[in-house]
Amino acid sequence: MTDERQSGAGTTGAGFAVLWVAIKREPWIFGISTVGSLLFGALTVADAWVLGWSTDHVVLPAFRDGEIGAGMLWAVLALFMGVAILRAVGIVARRLGAGVMQYRMQARTRRAVTRQYLSLPMEWHQRHPTGELLSNANSDVEAAWGPIAPLPMAVGTVAMMIIAVFQMLFADLVLALVGLLVFPLVIATNVVYQRLAQGWATRAQQLRAELSEIAHESFDGAMVIKTLGREPEETARFRAMAEDLRETNIKVGRIRAAFDPTLAALPNLAVLVVLVLGVHRVLSGATDAGDVVTVAYLLTIVSFPIRSIGWLLGEFPRSVVGYRRVDAVLRASGKMPYGDAAAPFSEAGALLEVEGLRYGYHADRPLLRDVTFTVEPGRTVALVGATASGKSTLTNLLSRLVDVDAGGIRVDGIDLRDLARGELAEVLAVVPQTAFLFDDTVRGNVTLGADVADDEVWAALRTAQADGFVAALPDGLDTRLGERGTSLSGGQRQRISLARALVRRPRLLVLDDATSAVDPEVEARILAALKGAGGDSTLVVVAYRKATIGLADEVLFLSDGEIVDRGPHRELVARNDDYARLVNAYEQQDHPLGEPEEVVAP
The answer to whether position 559 is within a domain reads: yes
The answer to whether position 251 is within a domain reads: yes
The answer to whether position 2 is within a domain reads: no
Phi-psi region of 523 (alpha: psi -120 to 50; beta: other; left: phi over 0): alpha
The answer to whether position 510 is within a domain reads: no
Please tell me the distance from the alpha carbon of residue 345 to that of residue 326, in angstroms, as a whole number.
Answer: 40
For residue 592, the enclosing domain spans 346-427+518-530+537-602
Residues 499, 583: one domain?
Answer: no
Phi-psi region of 168 (alpha: psi -120 to 50; beta: other; left: phi over 0): alpha
Going by the DSSP 8-state scheme, the letter that residue 341 receives in this structure is B
Residues 131, 255: one domain?
Answer: yes
Task: State yes or no: pLDDT of 9 exceeds 50.
Answer: no
Which of residues 326 and 151 earns the better pLDDT score?
A: 326
Residues 233, 324: one domain?
Answer: yes
Task: State yes or no: pLDDT of 535 exceeds 70.
Answer: no
Task: State yes or no: pLDDT of 305 exceeds 50.
Answer: yes
Please tell me the distance from the alpha carbon of residue 510 to that of residue 491, in angstroms, as a whole number.
Answer: 18
Q: What b-and-e string marks burial along 242-263, b requiring 16 or more CB atoms within 10 Å of the CB?
A: eeebeebbebbeebbeebeeeb
Contacts 24+ apart (CB under 8 A), 276-284: 277/174, 277/175, 277/178, 278/172, 278/175, 281/172, 281/174, 281/175
- The pTM of the full predicted model, rounded to 2 decimals, is 0.63
Element containing residue 11 per DSSP (H, E): helix 11-25
- AA identity, residue 360: G
* Average pLDDT rounded to a whole number, residues 309-321: 72
Q: Which range is least confidently modeled, 308-312, 342-346, 389-393, 468-472?
A: 308-312
Instruction: Tell me the CA distances in angstroms from 281 to 60, 292, 426, 579, one per residue in order.
Output: 17, 9, 87, 106
Residues 317, 234: one domain?
Answer: yes
For the chain, the domain total comes to 3
Model confidence over 184-235: pLDDT tens digits?
Answer: 777 677 677 767 776 777 777 678 777 877 887 777 777 677 777 778 888 8
Residues 551, 589: one domain?
Answer: yes
Sign of the four-CA dihedral 76, 78, 81, 86: negative
Q: How many CA atoms lie within 13 A of 420 on its CB side?
A: 7
pLDDT at 581: 85
Interior CA angle at 74 toward 72 and 75, to 5°? 60
Task: State yes or no: pLDDT of 534 exceeds 60.
Answer: no
Model confidence over 108-157: pLDDT tens digits?
Answer: 999 988 888 887 877 777 777 776 787 788 878 888 888 887 777 777 77
Residues 359, 487: one domain?
Answer: no
Residues 445, 552: one domain?
Answer: no
Q: Which residue, 96, 207, 91, is CA-closest to 143? A: 207
- AA identity, residue 299: L
- AA identity, residue 358: R
Task: State the greatest distance between any 2 C-alpha atoms of the chain, in Å, as a whole number.
Answer: 124
* Average pLDDT rounded to a whole number, residues 88-92: 78
The answer to whether position 586 is within a domain reads: yes
Start-end of H helices in 331-403:
391-398
Please tell me the distance from the alpha carbon of residue 328 to that of residue 120, in angstroms, as a whole number.
Answer: 13
Neighbouring CB atoms inside 10 A of 388's CB total 11
Q: Which residue, 430, 579, 600, 412, is CA-closest to 511? A: 430
Residues 394, 525: one domain?
Answer: yes
pLDDT at 64: 66
Please tell me the distance from the alpha carbon of residue 408 to that of residue 393, in angstroms, as a whole number.
Answer: 15
pLDDT at 543: 79
Residues 562, 496: one domain?
Answer: no
For position 495, which CATH number holds?
3.40.50.300
